[in-house]
DNA sequence: AGCAGTACCTGGTTGC
DNA sequence: TGCAACCAGGTACTGC
């Protein structure tokens, strides 16, 4: 379930293997992932990889002729492998490199995508994204919006939707999915079902702090491996053992021993502590 | 415009 | 034991 920490882990893991390398061949075994893979990705042939970066849950592989945009969806995985590694089921795309290695995309559920962005263009998928939750000083300068308590408070006013959905909306803040929103709400002491508009300013401050700390900590643990997430070198993430509420309905709260409950929010379940979260 | 609900997809698990 | 039903969930889409 790749959320920001998993995509960041992938980005950090891939960078040393990709930067400066030339793409010698692109193999598309499928026409469609989440969307059709545009033919324009062929413009990356014989190009050197200039940069690899993450924006929200997207991974951008930049060359002079344009950028590949990957999204890992639900089950997507990018690995660096030896060029002679046999194909497995759901291996959909290879970028073959000039040093006997390749970048291979595997995605059983095919919710992921590979798109292309021309130089100077902003792909439509990247247009309406909210601010990055963890912003460096340089990001603060280039981003129109800055993720802090004031921003979250103002944006949530008069919103009736559950705060959980509000925080998972990539237009509010990027990178937060079902796992980390549950953990952040727990750490901030806020129930997932509360209407976003009823969250106090103090709670907004707690939520911002919780989201930032949890995402940052998860990155240091290499993300969360629940079913199939692996870093580009094949290593799993170790954040699962740090989870307080996600997937723990019916079990005791690690803080107060109360039995964790499941709230039905749409089709997704959301786990919380009835005592710690108001 | 905001929001709830649905579809997409496959593999693992559950239930009869 | 075998097979169907269900569940996981990021995101775009639909319709109110």
- pLDDT band, residue A231 (cuts 50/70/90): confident
Look over chain A and give the mean of its residue pLDDT values, rounded to a whole number. 93
For residue A143, what pLDDT is reported? 73
Residue range A111-167, pLDDT digits in tens = 999 999 999 999 999 999 999 999 876 776 677 789 999 999 999 999 999 999 999
- Mean per-residue pLDDT, A6-25: 96
Q: For chain A, what is the radius of gyration of the CA atoms?
A: 20
The answer, yes or no, to whether residue A46 has pLDDT greater than 80, is yes
Distance CA A192, CA A203 (A): 13
**A9 CA → B8 C1’, Å:** 26
Distance CA A23, CA A233 (A): 19
Is A3 a residue of the active site?
yes
- pLDDT band, residue A227 (cuts 50/70/90): low
Residues of chain A above pLDDT 90, percent: 83
Is A278 a residue of the active site?
no
Longest dimension (CA), chain A: 59
- Mean per-residue pLDDT, A30-43: 94
**A108 CA → B11 C1’, Å:** 8
Q: Measuring CA to CA, how many Å separate A56 from each of A20, A95, A192, A270?
A: 24, 22, 22, 22
Contact A6, A58 (CB under 8 A): no
Q: Does the C-beta of A72 come within 7 A of strand C?
A: no
Sign of CA dihedral A232, A236, A239, A240: positive
CB contact set of A147 (below 8 Å; sequence gap of 6+): A130, A131, A132, A133, A135, A173, A208
For residue A225, what pLDDT is reported? 81
Contact A248, A271 (CB under 8 A): yes
What pTM value is reported for the model?
0.94
Strand B: which of residues 85-104 in chain A lie with Cβ below 7 A?
A: 89-90
The answer, yes or no, to whether residue A230 has pLDDT greater than 70, is yes
**A96 CA → C11 C1’, Å:** 29
- Residue A191: name the closest of A228, A165, A220, A154 by CA: A165
Q: Measuring CA to CA, how many Å separate A108 from each of A33, A37, A77, A127, A185?
A: 10, 16, 9, 27, 30
Strands A261-265 and A23-28 come out as unpaired
**3-class SS at A236?**
coil
Q: Which residue is associated with the tokens 């002679």?
A: A84
Distance CA A278, CA A275 (A): 7
Residue range A186-223, pLDDT digits in tens = 999 999 999 999 999 999 999 999 999 999 999 999 88
Q: Does the C-beta of A21 come within 7 A of strand B?
A: no
Residues of chain A above pLDDT 70, percent: 98
Q: Does the C-beta of A271 come within 7 A of strand C?
A: no
The whole-angstrom distance between residue A219's C-alpha and the CA centroid of its chain comes to 11
Contact A3, A57 (CB under 8 A): yes
The answer, yes or no, to whether residue A237 has pLDDT greater than 90, is no
Is A132 a residue of the active site?
no
Given the residues A6, A54, A57, A191, select the one marked as catalytic.
Answer: A57
């Amino acid at each position: 379930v790749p959320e920001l920490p998993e995509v960041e882990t992938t980005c950090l893991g891939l960078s040393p293997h990709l930067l400066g390398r030339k793409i010698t061949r692109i193999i598309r075994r499928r026409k469609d992932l989440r969307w059709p893979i545009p033919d324009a990705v062929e413009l990356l042939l014989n190009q050197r990889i200039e940069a690899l970066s993450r924006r929200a849950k997207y991974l951008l592989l930049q060359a002079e002729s344009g950028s590949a945009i990957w999204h890992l969806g639900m089950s997507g995985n990018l690995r660096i492998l030896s060029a002679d590694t046999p194909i497995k089921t759901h291996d959909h795309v290879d970028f073959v490199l000039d040093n006997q290695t390749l970048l291979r995309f595997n995605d059983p559920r095919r919710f992921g995508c590979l798109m292309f962005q021309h130089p100077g263009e902003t792909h439509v998928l990247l247009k309406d994204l909210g601010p990055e939750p963890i912003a460096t000083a340089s990001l603060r300068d280039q981003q129109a919006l800055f993720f802090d308590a004031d921003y979250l408070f103002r944006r949530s006013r008069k919103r009736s939707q559950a705060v959980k959905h509000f925080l998972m909306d990539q237009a509010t803040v990027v990178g937060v999915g079902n796992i980390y929103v549950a953990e952040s709400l727990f750490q901030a002491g806020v129930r997932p079902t509360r209407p976003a508009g009823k969250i106090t300013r103090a709670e907004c401050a707690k939520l911002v702090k919780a989201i930032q700390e949890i995402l940052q900590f998860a990155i240091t643990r290499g993300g969360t491996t629940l079913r199939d997430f692996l870093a580009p070198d094949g290593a799993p993430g170790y954040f699962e053992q740090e989870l307080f509420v996600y997937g723990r309905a019916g079990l005791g709260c690690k803080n107060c021993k109360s039995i964790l409950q499941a709230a039905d929010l749409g089709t997704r379940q959301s786990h919380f502590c009835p005592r710690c979260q108001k």
